[in-house]
Amino acid sequence: ARLIYTSSPSVVFDGRDQRGVDESTPYPRRWLCHYARSKALAEQAVLGSNGRSGLATCALRPHLIWGPGDRHLVPRLLARARAGRLRMIGSGRNLIDMVYIDNAAAAHLAAADRLLGSNAPAAPGGRAYFISQGEPAPCWPWINEILALVHLPPVRRRLPLAVAWALGALCETIYASLGLRREPPMTRFVAQQLGRSHYFDISAARRDL
């Protein structure tokens, strides 16, 4: 039997820039949000089950999936822009990885084929793989290109990363103290994701998958 867990690069994100890092990057000691922590716990459980009772497992870490049918990444950016709540965080020169939906799906199919004995150079069982286009893009010019396609103005207002981080911490504290269940307008995790570089070495996926 095969089990492929769709994880996320956020499982190794510790709030610092990640430039070309590979799968040897460890899990962080402290988590910025429960999303990343829960993903990491699930990934470890799946990878730890590889080889047990005839089970072959691996984890794929696609980053910022977008394309037809997207209900999360681009729609949320557009909603924030239309509400006047989108701000450039940090210098605006940070680079990010992303992956088109067809390529994310192809990676899952390739992993399924490789898990049960194929001619792959290395067996993917028990391993995690970063999945992206392999071409980091400047975050804010890319966002502004998306906005231009729907005739929205570019993001010009900017917040220093330290200010966005502090605002995120404040919002989290207020929402937690009031018992609010909806997502705060800013969090520490979102501030770091929008203001830091995060792109990955996908040579392992190219080799094995």
- Residuewise pLDDT in 10s, the chain (209 residues): 889 999 999 999 999 999 999 999 999 998 889 999 999 999 999 999 998 988 999 999 999 999 999 999 999 999 999 999 999 999 999 999 999 999 999 999 999 999 876 554 457 999 999 999 999 999 999 999 999 999 999 999 999 999 999 999 999 999 999 999 888 999 999 999 999 999 999 999 999 99
User: How much is the pTM?
Assistant: 0.92
Phi, psi torsion values for 39, nearest 5 degrees? -60, -45
Report CA 3 to chain centroid distance, whole Å.
21
Kindly state the helix (H) or strand (E) to which residue 52 belongs, with its residue range.
none
| Catalytic residue from among 27, 35, 100, 175 | 35
> Torsion angle of alpha carbons 76, 82, 88, 93, nearest 10°?
70
35 is catalytic: yes
Closest CA to 33 of 52, 7, 15: 15
Query: At residue 108, what are phi and psi to the nearest 5 degrees?
Result: -65, -40
